Structure 1
Protein backbone atom coordinates (compact mmCIF):
# COMPACT_ATOMS: atom_id res chain seq x y z
CA UNK A 1 0.00 0.00 0.00
CA UNK A 2 1.36 3.39 -0.99
CA UNK A 3 0.37 6.96 -0.19
CA UNK A 4 1.56 8.11 -3.62
CA UNK A 5 -0.11 7.88 -7.01
CA UNK A 6 1.03 8.78 -10.51
CA UNK A 7 -1.07 11.26 -12.46
CA UNK A 8 -1.56 10.02 -16.02
CA UNK A 9 -4.11 12.65 -17.05
CA UNK A 10 -4.36 15.61 -17.32
CA UNK A 11 -0.87 16.28 -18.64
CA UNK A 12 1.82 16.81 -17.49
CA UNK A 13 1.59 14.09 -14.89
CA UNK A 14 3.82 13.35 -11.94
CA UNK A 15 3.64 11.97 -8.43
CA UNK A 16 0.69 13.07 -6.27
CA UNK A 17 -0.48 12.27 -2.76
CA UNK A 18 -3.40 9.94 -2.21
CA UNK A 19 -4.73 11.71 0.88
CA UNK A 20 -7.09 14.58 0.00
CA UNK A 21 -6.87 13.76 -3.73
CA UNK A 22 -10.67 13.71 -4.09
CA UNK A 23 -11.44 15.85 -1.06
CA UNK A 24 -9.70 18.81 -2.70
CA UNK A 25 -12.15 18.62 -5.63
CA UNK A 26 -14.70 20.48 -3.44
CA UNK A 27 -17.63 18.77 -5.09
CA UNK A 28 -19.99 20.28 -2.51
CA UNK A 29 -19.58 23.65 -4.23
CA UNK A 30 -20.59 22.49 -7.72
CA UNK A 31 -24.33 22.15 -7.24
CA UNK A 32 -27.32 24.34 -6.45
CA UNK A 33 -30.82 23.56 -5.25
CA UNK A 34 -31.98 24.26 -8.80
CA UNK A 35 -29.43 21.82 -10.23
CA UNK A 36 -27.95 19.50 -7.61
CA UNK A 37 -24.56 17.98 -8.37
CA UNK A 38 -24.84 14.18 -8.47
CA UNK A 39 -21.80 11.93 -8.43
CA UNK A 40 -21.24 8.19 -8.29
CA UNK A 41 -18.32 5.88 -7.57
CA UNK A 42 -17.84 2.25 -8.62
CA UNK A 43 -15.09 -0.34 -8.36
CA UNK A 44 -14.58 -3.06 -10.96
CA UNK A 45 -12.08 -5.57 -12.30
CA UNK A 46 -10.47 -5.32 -15.72
CA UNK A 47 -13.14 -7.63 -17.11
CA UNK A 48 -15.90 -5.37 -15.84
CA UNK A 49 -17.11 -7.32 -12.82
CA UNK A 50 -18.47 -5.31 -9.90
CA UNK A 51 -19.84 -8.42 -8.15
CA UNK A 52 -20.08 -12.16 -8.69
CA UNK A 53 -23.00 -14.52 -8.23
CA UNK A 54 -22.78 -17.61 -6.05
CA UNK A 55 -23.65 -20.66 -8.19
CA UNK A 56 -25.45 -22.48 -5.35
CA UNK A 57 -27.42 -19.70 -3.66
CA UNK A 58 -27.82 -17.37 -6.63
CA UNK A 59 -26.90 -14.42 -4.40
CA UNK A 60 -24.40 -11.80 -5.45
CA UNK A 61 -21.34 -10.94 -3.41
CA UNK A 62 -18.37 -8.58 -3.54
CA UNK A 63 -15.16 -10.61 -3.99
CA UNK A 64 -12.71 -9.60 -1.24
CA UNK A 65 -9.81 -9.47 -3.69
CA UNK A 66 -11.59 -6.67 -5.57
CA UNK A 67 -11.56 -4.25 -2.64
CA UNK A 68 -8.52 -2.14 -1.73
CA UNK A 69 -7.60 0.18 1.10
CA UNK A 70 -6.70 3.05 -1.24
CA UNK A 71 -9.96 2.82 -3.15
CA UNK A 72 -11.92 2.87 0.09
CA UNK A 73 -10.03 5.94 1.32
CA UNK A 74 -11.02 7.81 -1.84
CA UNK A 75 -14.59 6.54 -1.43
CA UNK A 76 -14.67 8.13 2.03
CA UNK A 77 -13.37 11.44 0.65
CA UNK A 78 -16.24 11.50 -1.86
CA UNK A 79 -18.62 10.46 0.92
CA UNK A 80 -17.56 13.45 3.03
CA UNK A 81 -18.56 16.00 0.37
CA UNK A 82 -22.24 15.06 0.14
CA UNK A 83 -25.16 16.69 1.91
CA UNK A 84 -27.29 13.72 0.79
CA UNK A 85 -26.59 10.03 0.12
CA UNK A 86 -28.73 7.83 -2.12
CA UNK A 87 -28.67 4.15 -1.21
CA UNK A 88 -31.15 1.33 -1.89
CA UNK A 89 -33.17 -1.34 -0.17
CA UNK A 90 -30.84 -4.17 -1.20
CA UNK A 91 -27.94 -2.55 0.64
CA UNK A 92 -30.01 -2.16 3.82
CA UNK A 93 -31.03 -5.80 3.70
CA UNK A 94 -27.39 -6.85 3.28
CA UNK A 95 -26.38 -4.50 6.10
CA UNK A 96 -28.96 -6.02 8.43
CA UNK A 97 -27.70 -9.52 7.57
CA UNK A 98 -24.11 -8.56 8.35
CA UNK A 99 -22.96 -9.05 4.77
CA UNK A 100 -21.88 -5.42 4.23
CA UNK A 101 -20.47 -2.73 6.48
CA UNK A 102 -22.20 0.51 7.43
CA UNK A 103 -21.30 3.41 5.12
CA UNK A 104 -24.23 5.69 6.00
CA UNK A 105 -22.28 8.00 8.32
CA UNK A 106 -19.21 10.16 7.72
CA UNK A 107 -16.04 10.37 9.79
CA UNK A 108 -16.76 7.67 12.40
CA UNK A 109 -13.82 5.42 11.53
CA UNK A 110 -10.66 5.85 13.57
CA UNK A 111 -8.67 7.05 10.55
CA UNK A 112 -11.41 9.31 9.16
CA UNK A 113 -11.79 11.97 11.82
CA UNK A 114 -10.32 14.59 9.51
CA UNK A 115 -13.31 14.11 7.20
CA UNK A 116 -15.78 15.00 9.94
CA UNK A 117 -13.71 18.11 10.72
CA UNK A 118 -13.60 19.01 7.03
CA UNK A 119 -17.41 18.89 6.77
CA UNK A 120 -17.88 21.31 9.64
CA UNK A 121 -15.20 23.66 8.30
CA UNK A 122 -16.93 23.69 4.90
CA UNK A 123 -20.44 24.41 6.16
CA UNK A 124 -21.89 20.92 5.74
CA UNK A 125 -24.00 19.29 8.47
CA UNK A 126 -22.23 16.69 10.62
CA UNK A 127 -23.98 13.90 8.73
CA UNK A 128 -25.66 13.75 5.31
CA UNK A 129 -29.34 13.06 4.72
CA UNK A 130 -30.21 9.53 3.57
CA UNK A 131 -32.42 8.58 0.62
CA UNK A 132 -33.43 4.93 0.28
CA UNK A 133 -34.49 4.06 -3.27
CA UNK A 134 -36.88 1.11 -3.33
CA UNK A 135 -39.81 0.03 -5.47
CA UNK A 136 -40.73 -2.80 -3.09
CA UNK A 137 -40.36 -0.81 0.17
CA UNK A 138 -39.22 -4.06 1.76
CA UNK A 139 -36.15 -3.38 3.91
CA UNK A 140 -35.21 -2.77 7.57
CA UNK A 141 -34.36 0.76 8.73
CA UNK A 142 -30.87 0.97 10.30
CA UNK A 143 -30.87 2.38 13.82
CA UNK A 144 -27.74 4.37 13.05
CA UNK A 145 -29.73 6.86 10.94
CA UNK A 146 -31.87 7.99 13.86
CA UNK A 147 -28.92 7.75 16.27
CA UNK A 148 -26.96 10.28 14.26
CA UNK A 149 -29.90 12.59 13.61
CA UNK A 150 -29.96 12.13 9.85
CA UNK A 151 -32.97 13.21 7.83
CA UNK A 152 -34.27 10.17 5.96
CA UNK A 153 -36.43 9.84 2.83
CA UNK A 154 -37.73 6.86 0.90
CA UNK A 155 -37.90 7.22 -2.90
CA UNK A 156 -40.30 4.89 -4.67
CA UNK A 157 -42.55 4.50 -7.70
CA UNK A 158 -46.06 5.93 -8.00
CA UNK A 159 -47.75 2.54 -7.84
CA UNK A 160 -45.85 1.28 -4.79
CA UNK A 161 -47.79 -0.86 -2.30
CA UNK A 162 -50.01 1.68 -0.48
CA UNK A 163 -49.96 -0.34 2.75
CA UNK A 164 -46.17 -0.25 2.88
CA UNK A 165 -46.17 3.45 1.98
CA UNK A 166 -48.57 4.11 4.82
CA UNK A 167 -46.50 2.04 7.25
CA UNK A 168 -43.35 4.05 6.53
CA UNK A 169 -45.19 7.35 6.70
CA UNK A 170 -46.60 6.42 10.11
CA UNK A 171 -43.00 5.98 11.27
CA UNK A 172 -42.33 9.59 10.27
CA UNK A 173 -40.40 8.85 7.07
CA UNK A 174 -41.16 11.10 4.11
CA UNK A 175 -41.92 9.12 0.95
CA UNK A 176 -40.99 10.68 -2.41
CA UNK A 177 -42.74 9.39 -5.54
CA UNK A 178 -40.75 9.43 -8.77
CA UNK A 179 -43.14 8.42 -11.55
CA UNK A 180 -44.69 5.39 -13.18
CA UNK A 181 -41.65 3.23 -13.79
CA UNK A 182 -40.50 -0.19 -12.65
CA UNK A 183 -37.54 1.44 -10.93
CA UNK A 184 -37.12 4.71 -9.06
CA UNK A 185 -36.74 7.55 -11.57
CA UNK A 186 -33.49 9.53 -11.67
CA UNK A 187 -34.49 13.05 -12.73
CA UNK A 188 -37.70 13.24 -10.64
CA UNK A 189 -35.79 12.17 -7.54
CA UNK A 190 -32.98 14.69 -8.00
CA UNK A 191 -35.44 17.49 -8.69
CA UNK A 192 -37.35 16.57 -5.53
CA UNK A 193 -34.16 16.60 -3.47
CA UNK A 194 -33.21 19.99 -4.88
CA UNK A 195 -36.58 21.37 -3.77
CA UNK A 196 -35.74 20.10 -0.29
CA UNK A 197 -32.51 22.07 -0.26
CA UNK A 198 -29.87 19.48 -1.23
CA UNK A 199 -27.02 20.46 -3.53
CA UNK A 200 -24.39 17.69 -3.35
CA UNK A 201 -25.70 14.14 -3.81
CA UNK A 202 -23.55 11.01 -3.64
CA UNK A 203 -24.96 7.92 -5.30
CA UNK A 204 -23.96 4.84 -3.28
CA UNK A 205 -26.73 2.65 -4.68
CA UNK A 206 -26.27 -0.23 -7.12
CA UNK A 207 -25.95 -0.40 -10.91
CA UNK A 208 -29.69 -0.07 -11.58
CA UNK A 209 -29.74 3.37 -9.95
CA UNK A 210 -26.60 4.36 -11.87
CA UNK A 211 -28.31 3.23 -15.07
CA UNK A 212 -31.42 5.36 -14.54
CA UNK A 213 -29.34 8.38 -13.51
CA UNK A 214 -27.25 8.10 -16.69
CA UNK A 215 -30.35 7.77 -18.86
CA UNK A 216 -31.86 10.86 -17.21
CA UNK A 217 -28.50 12.69 -17.58
CA UNK A 218 -28.21 13.41 -13.88
CA UNK A 219 -24.60 12.28 -13.30
CA UNK A 220 -22.34 15.29 -12.87
CA UNK A 221 -19.27 13.14 -12.22
CA UNK A 222 -18.57 9.42 -12.45
CA UNK A 223 -15.63 7.99 -10.48
CA UNK A 224 -14.39 4.54 -11.48
CA UNK A 225 -11.64 2.49 -9.84
CA UNK A 226 -10.36 -0.41 -11.95
CA UNK A 227 -8.19 -3.07 -10.33
CA UNK A 228 -5.72 -4.79 -12.63
CA UNK A 229 -7.09 -8.30 -12.34
CA UNK A 230 -9.40 -10.57 -14.30
CA UNK A 231 -12.06 -12.13 -12.06
CA UNK A 232 -13.86 -14.35 -14.54
CA UNK A 233 -16.98 -16.19 -13.39
CA UNK A 234 -20.02 -17.20 -15.43
CA UNK A 235 -22.52 -15.12 -13.44
CA UNK A 236 -21.66 -11.55 -12.51
CA UNK A 237 -22.89 -7.96 -12.19
CA UNK A 238 -21.67 -5.06 -14.31
CA UNK A 239 -21.99 -1.29 -14.15
CA UNK A 240 -25.00 -0.94 -16.44
CA UNK A 241 -27.56 -3.77 -16.44
CA UNK A 242 -30.15 -2.20 -18.73
CA UNK A 243 -30.62 -1.72 -22.46
CA UNK A 244 -28.10 0.14 -24.62
CA UNK A 245 -27.38 3.63 -23.29
CA UNK A 246 -26.51 5.23 -26.61
CA UNK A 247 -25.33 8.82 -26.29
CA UNK A 248 -26.23 8.85 -22.60
CA UNK A 249 -23.30 6.50 -22.06
CA UNK A 250 -20.74 8.85 -23.62
CA UNK A 251 -18.19 9.94 -21.02
CA UNK A 252 -15.36 12.46 -21.12
CA UNK A 253 -12.21 11.75 -19.09
CA UNK A 254 -11.48 14.34 -16.41
CA UNK A 255 -8.58 12.68 -14.56
CA UNK A 256 -6.69 9.39 -14.37
CA UNK A 257 -4.31 8.19 -11.64
CA UNK A 258 -2.23 5.03 -11.35
CA UNK A 259 -1.72 3.23 -8.06
CA UNK A 260 1.07 0.66 -8.68
CA UNK A 261 0.88 -1.16 -5.36
CA UNK A 262 -2.64 -2.34 -4.62
CA UNK A 263 -4.09 -4.86 -4.85
CA UNK A 264 -1.20 -7.28 -4.33
CA UNK A 265 1.19 -5.10 -6.35
CA UNK A 266 -0.97 -5.59 -9.46
CA UNK A 267 -2.07 -1.97 -9.46
CA UNK A 268 -5.25 -0.07 -10.18
CA UNK A 269 -6.48 3.05 -11.95
CA UNK A 270 -8.56 5.80 -10.39
CA UNK A 271 -10.53 7.58 -13.10
CA UNK A 272 -12.98 10.45 -13.18
CA UNK A 273 -15.46 11.16 -15.99
CA UNK A 274 -18.32 13.49 -16.82
CA UNK A 275 -21.23 12.75 -19.13
CA UNK A 276 -20.64 14.15 -22.60
CA UNK A 277 -22.70 14.30 -25.79
CA UNK A 278 -20.87 14.10 -29.14
CA UNK A 279 -20.25 17.33 -31.01
CA UNK A 280 -22.66 18.04 -33.85
Structure 2
Protein backbone atom coordinates (compact mmCIF):
# COMPACT_ATOMS: atom_id res chain seq x y z
CA UNK A 1 0.00 0.00 0.00
CA UNK A 2 1.46 3.33 -1.04
CA UNK A 3 1.82 6.19 1.45
CA UNK A 4 2.40 9.92 1.13
CA UNK A 5 6.03 10.98 1.01
CA UNK A 6 7.39 12.78 4.08
CA UNK A 7 10.63 14.42 2.98
CA UNK A 8 9.76 16.27 -0.24
CA UNK A 9 9.06 19.97 -0.87
CA UNK A 10 5.41 21.10 -0.90
CA UNK A 11 3.43 24.11 -2.14
CA UNK A 12 -0.14 24.14 -0.75
CA UNK A 13 -2.63 25.03 -3.50
CA UNK A 14 -6.27 25.60 -2.60
CA UNK A 15 -8.72 24.65 -5.32
CA UNK A 16 -10.57 27.99 -5.20
CA UNK A 17 -7.30 29.86 -5.85
CA UNK A 18 -6.24 27.88 -8.93
CA UNK A 19 -9.54 27.30 -10.73
CA UNK A 20 -9.24 26.98 -14.51
CA UNK A 21 -11.65 27.62 -17.37
CA UNK A 22 -11.77 25.76 -20.67
CA UNK A 23 -11.38 28.21 -23.55
CA UNK A 24 -11.32 25.57 -26.30
CA UNK A 25 -11.69 21.81 -26.46
CA UNK A 26 -11.25 19.66 -29.57
CA UNK A 27 -13.71 16.93 -30.49
CA UNK A 28 -10.67 14.64 -30.66
CA UNK A 29 -10.50 14.57 -26.86
CA UNK A 30 -13.75 12.60 -26.78
CA UNK A 31 -11.81 9.64 -28.18
CA UNK A 32 -9.32 9.65 -25.26
CA UNK A 33 -10.33 6.98 -22.75
CA UNK A 34 -7.48 6.75 -20.23
CA UNK A 35 -7.82 8.91 -17.10
CA UNK A 36 -4.85 8.01 -14.89
CA UNK A 37 -5.63 10.35 -11.98
CA UNK A 38 -9.09 11.25 -10.71
CA UNK A 39 -9.99 13.31 -7.67
CA UNK A 40 -12.64 15.87 -6.68
CA UNK A 41 -9.96 18.59 -6.56
CA UNK A 42 -8.71 17.84 -10.08
CA UNK A 43 -12.25 17.84 -11.46
CA UNK A 44 -13.06 21.10 -9.68
CA UNK A 45 -9.90 22.89 -10.84
CA UNK A 46 -9.29 21.43 -14.29
CA UNK A 47 -11.89 18.85 -15.30
CA UNK A 48 -10.88 15.44 -16.67
CA UNK A 49 -7.34 14.90 -17.97
CA UNK A 50 -7.58 11.95 -20.38
CA UNK A 51 -5.09 10.30 -22.74
CA UNK A 52 -5.20 7.74 -25.55
CA UNK A 53 -4.08 4.20 -24.78
CA UNK A 54 -0.33 3.73 -24.94
CA UNK A 55 1.13 1.94 -27.98
CA UNK A 56 2.13 -1.68 -27.43
CA UNK A 57 5.84 -1.04 -28.01
CA UNK A 58 6.47 2.27 -26.23
CA UNK A 59 4.85 4.68 -23.76
CA UNK A 60 2.59 7.53 -24.81
CA UNK A 61 5.04 10.44 -24.79
CA UNK A 62 4.23 14.04 -23.92
CA UNK A 63 6.31 17.07 -23.00
CA UNK A 64 5.45 19.92 -20.66
CA UNK A 65 7.13 23.32 -20.56
CA UNK A 66 6.54 26.82 -19.30
CA UNK A 67 7.06 29.15 -22.25
CA UNK A 68 6.90 32.87 -23.02
CA UNK A 69 5.29 34.65 -25.94
CA UNK A 70 8.59 34.35 -27.84
CA UNK A 71 9.15 30.69 -27.02
CA UNK A 72 11.71 31.04 -24.23
CA UNK A 73 11.60 28.50 -21.41
CA UNK A 74 13.73 30.36 -18.85
CA UNK A 75 15.16 33.79 -18.13
CA UNK A 76 18.78 34.17 -19.14
CA UNK A 77 19.85 35.66 -15.78
CA UNK A 78 17.91 33.17 -13.63
CA UNK A 79 17.35 29.82 -15.32
CA UNK A 80 14.87 28.17 -12.96
CA UNK A 81 11.95 27.73 -15.36
CA UNK A 82 9.39 28.17 -12.54
CA UNK A 83 10.29 31.88 -12.45
CA UNK A 84 8.45 32.34 -15.75
CA UNK A 85 5.29 31.63 -13.77
CA UNK A 86 6.05 33.36 -10.47
CA UNK A 87 7.50 36.43 -12.23
CA UNK A 88 4.53 36.77 -14.56
CA UNK A 89 3.53 39.74 -12.41
CA UNK A 90 0.13 40.28 -14.02
CA UNK A 91 -1.02 36.75 -13.20
CA UNK A 92 -3.22 37.30 -10.17
CA UNK A 93 -2.78 33.69 -9.02
CA UNK A 94 0.92 34.36 -8.43
CA UNK A 95 1.80 31.56 -10.78
CA UNK A 96 -0.12 28.98 -8.75
CA UNK A 97 -2.74 28.17 -11.40
CA UNK A 98 -0.19 27.33 -14.12
CA UNK A 99 1.94 25.53 -11.55
CA UNK A 100 -0.99 23.34 -10.48
CA UNK A 101 -1.67 22.41 -14.12
CA UNK A 102 2.04 21.69 -14.61
CA UNK A 103 1.94 19.42 -11.55
CA UNK A 104 -1.22 17.75 -12.89
CA UNK A 105 0.70 16.79 -16.02
CA UNK A 106 3.32 15.21 -13.77
CA UNK A 107 0.64 13.46 -11.75
CA UNK A 108 -0.59 11.65 -14.87
CA UNK A 109 2.88 10.31 -15.75
CA UNK A 110 4.29 6.92 -14.83
CA UNK A 111 7.79 8.24 -15.49
CA UNK A 112 9.43 11.59 -16.23
CA UNK A 113 12.65 12.16 -18.15
CA UNK A 114 14.73 15.04 -16.83
CA UNK A 115 18.01 16.06 -18.41
CA UNK A 116 21.38 16.61 -16.80
CA UNK A 117 21.27 20.24 -17.96
CA UNK A 118 18.01 20.89 -16.09
CA UNK A 119 19.51 19.29 -13.00
CA UNK A 120 22.51 21.62 -13.16
CA UNK A 121 20.26 24.68 -13.44
CA UNK A 122 18.00 23.47 -10.60
CA UNK A 123 20.26 21.65 -8.10
CA UNK A 124 17.48 21.23 -5.51
CA UNK A 125 14.72 19.96 -7.78
CA UNK A 126 13.17 16.53 -7.84
CA UNK A 127 10.35 15.45 -10.14
CA UNK A 128 7.57 14.91 -7.62
CA UNK A 129 4.14 16.36 -6.85
CA UNK A 130 4.51 19.63 -4.96
CA UNK A 131 0.77 19.60 -4.21
CA UNK A 132 0.00 16.95 -1.61
CA UNK A 133 -3.54 16.46 -2.95
CA UNK A 134 -2.16 15.45 -6.35
CA UNK A 135 0.19 12.98 -4.70
CA UNK A 136 -2.75 11.57 -2.76
CA UNK A 137 -4.73 11.34 -6.02
CA UNK A 138 -1.97 9.17 -7.51
CA UNK A 139 -2.09 6.87 -4.50
CA UNK A 140 -5.89 6.70 -4.60
CA UNK A 141 -5.69 5.69 -8.27
CA UNK A 142 -3.18 2.91 -7.59
CA UNK A 143 -0.06 4.79 -8.70
CA UNK A 144 3.12 5.23 -6.64
CA UNK A 145 3.31 8.68 -5.01
CA UNK A 146 6.27 9.81 -7.15
CA UNK A 147 6.73 9.00 -10.84
CA UNK A 148 9.96 7.30 -11.85
CA UNK A 149 12.66 9.98 -12.34
CA UNK A 150 14.68 9.03 -15.44
CA UNK A 151 17.92 10.99 -15.75
CA UNK A 152 19.12 11.29 -19.34
CA UNK A 153 22.77 11.90 -20.19
CA UNK A 154 24.72 11.10 -23.33
CA UNK A 155 28.22 10.68 -21.88
CA UNK A 156 27.75 11.13 -18.13
CA UNK A 157 30.15 14.07 -17.86
CA UNK A 158 27.35 16.59 -17.29
CA UNK A 159 25.77 14.75 -14.36
CA UNK A 160 25.86 16.15 -10.81
CA UNK A 161 26.17 13.03 -8.70
CA UNK A 162 25.56 15.03 -5.51
CA UNK A 163 22.26 16.41 -6.87
CA UNK A 164 19.18 16.31 -4.62
CA UNK A 165 17.58 13.61 -6.79
CA UNK A 166 20.34 11.20 -5.79
CA UNK A 167 19.88 12.06 -2.10
CA UNK A 168 16.12 11.55 -1.79
CA UNK A 169 15.24 7.91 -1.08
CA UNK A 170 11.53 8.60 -1.69
CA UNK A 171 12.26 9.46 -5.34
CA UNK A 172 12.52 6.36 -7.60
CA UNK A 173 15.38 6.78 -10.05
CA UNK A 174 16.78 5.43 -13.31
CA UNK A 175 19.70 6.63 -15.45
CA UNK A 176 19.76 6.29 -19.23
CA UNK A 177 23.11 6.74 -20.91
CA UNK A 178 25.43 5.46 -23.63
CA UNK A 179 28.27 2.91 -23.35
CA UNK A 180 30.69 5.83 -22.92
CA UNK A 181 28.42 7.36 -20.29
CA UNK A 182 28.25 4.08 -18.35
CA UNK A 183 31.98 4.22 -17.67
CA UNK A 184 31.59 7.69 -16.14
CA UNK A 185 28.52 6.74 -14.10
CA UNK A 186 30.16 3.56 -12.82
CA UNK A 187 33.20 5.53 -11.65
CA UNK A 188 31.49 8.58 -10.11
CA UNK A 189 28.03 7.62 -8.88
CA UNK A 190 27.99 7.13 -5.10
CA UNK A 191 24.56 5.48 -5.03
CA UNK A 192 24.14 1.70 -5.41
CA UNK A 193 23.66 1.09 -9.15
CA UNK A 194 23.45 -1.82 -11.55
CA UNK A 195 23.94 -2.14 -15.29
CA UNK A 196 21.01 -2.86 -17.60
CA UNK A 197 22.48 -3.66 -21.00
CA UNK A 198 24.36 -2.52 -22.91
CA UNK A 199 21.87 -2.81 -25.76
CA UNK A 200 23.03 -1.81 -29.21
CA UNK A 201 19.81 -2.97 -30.90
CA UNK A 202 16.36 -3.97 -29.69
CA UNK A 203 17.22 -7.56 -30.60
CA UNK A 204 19.88 -7.48 -27.85
CA UNK A 205 17.20 -7.15 -25.15
CA UNK A 206 16.28 -10.42 -23.43
CA UNK A 207 13.15 -9.42 -21.53
CA UNK A 208 13.13 -12.54 -19.35
CA UNK A 209 16.66 -11.77 -18.16
CA UNK A 210 15.69 -8.10 -17.81
CA UNK A 211 12.84 -8.97 -15.45
CA UNK A 212 15.12 -11.14 -13.35
CA UNK A 213 17.79 -8.44 -13.25
CA UNK A 214 15.32 -5.81 -12.06
CA UNK A 215 13.92 -8.14 -9.41
CA UNK A 216 17.34 -9.11 -8.07
CA UNK A 217 18.50 -5.50 -7.76
CA UNK A 218 15.56 -3.81 -6.08
CA UNK A 219 16.75 -0.83 -4.05
CA UNK A 220 19.52 0.02 -6.53
CA UNK A 221 19.42 2.52 -9.39
CA UNK A 222 19.19 0.84 -12.82
CA UNK A 223 21.52 2.35 -15.41
CA UNK A 224 19.99 1.52 -18.79
CA UNK A 225 22.75 1.64 -21.42
CA UNK A 226 21.62 1.90 -25.03
CA UNK A 227 23.16 2.81 -28.36
CA UNK A 228 26.79 2.98 -29.38
CA UNK A 229 29.75 5.15 -28.38
CA UNK A 230 28.43 8.35 -26.78
CA UNK A 231 24.98 8.10 -28.38
CA UNK A 232 21.86 6.58 -26.82
CA UNK A 233 18.93 4.90 -28.57
CA UNK A 234 15.49 6.19 -27.50
CA UNK A 235 13.61 3.40 -29.29
CA UNK A 236 15.32 0.77 -27.15
CA UNK A 237 14.77 2.75 -23.94
CA UNK A 238 11.08 3.27 -24.73
CA UNK A 239 10.58 -0.41 -25.49
CA UNK A 240 12.13 -1.32 -22.13
CA UNK A 241 10.02 1.24 -20.29
CA UNK A 242 6.83 -0.06 -21.88
CA UNK A 243 7.78 -3.61 -20.86
CA UNK A 244 8.23 -2.30 -17.30
CA UNK A 245 4.63 -1.03 -17.32
CA UNK A 246 5.32 2.63 -18.12
CA UNK A 247 2.30 3.79 -20.12
CA UNK A 248 2.68 7.57 -19.97
CA UNK A 249 6.10 9.20 -20.21
CA UNK A 250 6.53 12.92 -19.53
CA UNK A 251 9.53 14.78 -20.97
CA UNK A 252 10.85 17.80 -19.05
CA UNK A 253 14.19 18.28 -20.79
CA UNK A 254 14.31 20.66 -23.79
CA UNK A 255 17.23 18.94 -25.54
CA UNK A 256 15.56 15.53 -25.38
CA UNK A 257 12.22 17.02 -26.43
CA UNK A 258 13.83 18.38 -29.58
CA UNK A 259 15.41 14.99 -30.26
CA UNK A 260 12.03 13.26 -29.99
CA UNK A 261 10.32 15.89 -32.15
CA UNK A 262 12.95 15.43 -34.85
CA UNK A 263 12.63 11.63 -34.72
CA UNK A 264 8.85 11.22 -34.71
CA UNK A 265 8.59 10.00 -31.11
CA UNK A 266 6.62 12.83 -29.46
CA UNK A 267 2.84 12.48 -29.14
CA UNK A 268 1.79 15.66 -27.35
CA UNK A 269 2.98 19.02 -26.05
CA UNK A 270 1.63 20.90 -23.04
CA UNK A 271 2.79 24.52 -23.29
CA UNK A 272 2.07 26.59 -20.20
CA UNK A 273 2.10 29.98 -21.89
CA UNK A 274 3.03 32.97 -19.71
CA UNK A 275 2.14 36.28 -21.33
CA UNK A 276 5.60 37.79 -20.90
CA UNK A 277 8.49 38.52 -23.27
CA UNK A 278 12.13 37.56 -22.71
CA UNK A 279 13.90 37.63 -26.09
CA UNK A 280 17.63 37.45 -26.78
CA UNK A 281 19.64 34.29 -26.31
CA UNK A 282 17.64 32.84 -23.42
CA UNK A 283 16.92 29.12 -23.43
CA UNK A 284 14.38 27.70 -25.89
CA UNK A 285 13.45 24.15 -26.82
CA UNK A 286 16.19 22.74 -29.03
CA UNK A 287 18.57 25.70 -28.59
CA UNK A 288 21.97 24.92 -30.19
CA UNK A 289 20.50 21.82 -31.89
CA UNK A 290 19.92 21.29 -35.59
CA UNK A 291 16.71 23.00 -36.68
CA UNK A 292 13.90 21.56 -38.75
CA UNK A 293 13.86 22.67 -42.37
CA UNK A 294 11.22 24.71 -44.18
CA UNK A 295 9.98 21.58 -45.98
CA UNK A 296 10.30 18.97 -43.23
CA UNK A 297 8.97 19.81 -39.76
CA UNK A 298 6.40 18.48 -37.26
CA UNK A 299 2.96 20.08 -37.04
CA UNK A 300 0.45 20.15 -34.19
CA UNK A 301 -3.28 20.02 -33.70
CA UNK A 302 -4.78 22.00 -30.83
CA UNK A 303 -6.53 19.73 -28.32
CA UNK A 304 -7.44 22.20 -25.60
CA UNK A 305 -6.81 25.66 -24.21
CA UNK A 306 -7.37 26.51 -20.56
CA UNK A 307 -6.73 29.64 -18.51
CA UNK A 308 -7.08 30.78 -14.91
CA UNK A 309 -10.46 32.10 -13.81
CA UNK A 310 -8.77 34.62 -11.54
CA UNK A 311 -6.44 35.87 -14.28
CA UNK A 312 -7.89 34.92 -17.68
CA UNK A 313 -5.78 37.31 -19.78
CA UNK A 314 -2.27 36.50 -18.63
CA UNK A 315 -1.74 32.72 -18.73
CA UNK A 316 -2.94 29.86 -20.96
CA UNK A 317 -2.15 26.17 -21.24
CA UNK A 318 -2.08 24.91 -24.82
CA UNK A 319 -2.41 21.15 -25.19
CA UNK A 320 -1.39 20.06 -28.69
CA UNK A 321 -1.19 16.71 -30.47
CA UNK A 322 2.01 16.39 -32.50
CA UNK A 323 1.66 15.35 -36.13
CA UNK A 324 4.74 13.86 -37.77
CA UNK A 325 5.41 13.16 -41.43
CA UNK A 326 3.29 15.91 -42.96
CA UNK A 327 4.13 16.34 -46.64
CA UNK A 328 4.57 19.75 -48.24
CA UNK A 329 1.95 21.40 -50.39
CA UNK A 330 1.97 20.19 -53.98
Give the TM interval when normalised to the shorter protein. Answer: 0.7 to 0.9
SS in 2 for 1:35: coil
SS in 1 for 2:179: coil
Distance 1:204 1:65, change over 3 A: closer
- The runs of at least 4 aligned residues of structure 1 exceeding 6 Å deviation read none
Give me the CA root mean square deviation.
Answer: 3.2
Rounded to whole Å, the distance in 1 between the matches of 2:41 and 2:318 is 13
Greater Rg, structure 1 or structure 2? 2
Provide, for residues 178-233 of structure 1, a one-character-per-residue CA deviation record: whole Å limited to 9, x for no partner: 3247664433322232233321211122x11101111222222210122222223x
Partner of 1:240: 286
Is 1:276 matched with 2:300? no
Aligned length: 258
SS in 1 for 2:258: helix
Deviation at 1:79, TM superposition (A): 0.9
SS in 2 for 1:70: helix
Partner of 2:11: none
Rounded to whole Å, the distance in 1 between the matches of 2:18 and 2:61 is 29
TM-score by length of 1: 0.77
Partner of 1:81: 108
Provide, for residues 150-178 of structure 1, a one-character-per-residue CA deviation record: whole Å limited to 9, x for no partner: 43211112332624335449722322123
Distance 1:141 1:22, change over 3 A: farther
Please list, as runs of the form range in 1=range in 2, the aligned pairs for 1:123-162 lying within 5 A after superposition. 123-137=142-156, 138-142=159-163, 147-160=168-181, 162=183
Out of 155-164 and 176-185, give the one that drifted further: 176-185
Out of 44-53 and 158-167, give the one that drifted further: 158-167
Provide, for residues 81-124 of structure 1, a one-character-per-residue CA deviation record: whole Å limited to 9, x for no partner: 1121111222333343x5xxx34223xx4xx2321222122221
Rounded to whole Å, the distance in 1 between the matches of 2:142 and 2:81 is 34
CA contact 2:224–2:237 (8 Å) conserved in 1 = yes
Provide, for residues 10-66 of structure 1, a one-character-per-residue CA deviation record: whole Å limited to 9, x for no partner: 38xxxxx99446672244x73256331111111111111112334xxxx84548354
Rounded to whole Å, the distance in 1 between the matches of 2:107 and 2:82 is 25
Partner of 1:203: 251
Partner of 2:68: 45
Partner of 2:7: none
Structure 2: gaps (5+ residues): 1-16, 28-39, 87-94, 194-220
Rounded to whole Å, the distance in 1 between the matches of 2:284 and 2:263 is 19
Rounded to whole Å, the distance in 2 between the matches of 1:181 and 1:260 is 51
Deviation at 1:236, TM superposition (A): 1.1
Distance 1:182 1:69, change over 3 A: farther
Deviation at 1:271, TM superposition (A): 0.7
Please list, as runs of the form range in 1=range in 2, the aligned pairs for 1:113-132 lying within 5 A after superposition. 113-132=132-151
SS in 1 for 2:181: coil
Structure 1: gaps (5+ residues): 12-16
Rounded to whole Å, the distance in 2 between the matches of 1:22 and 1:136 is 40
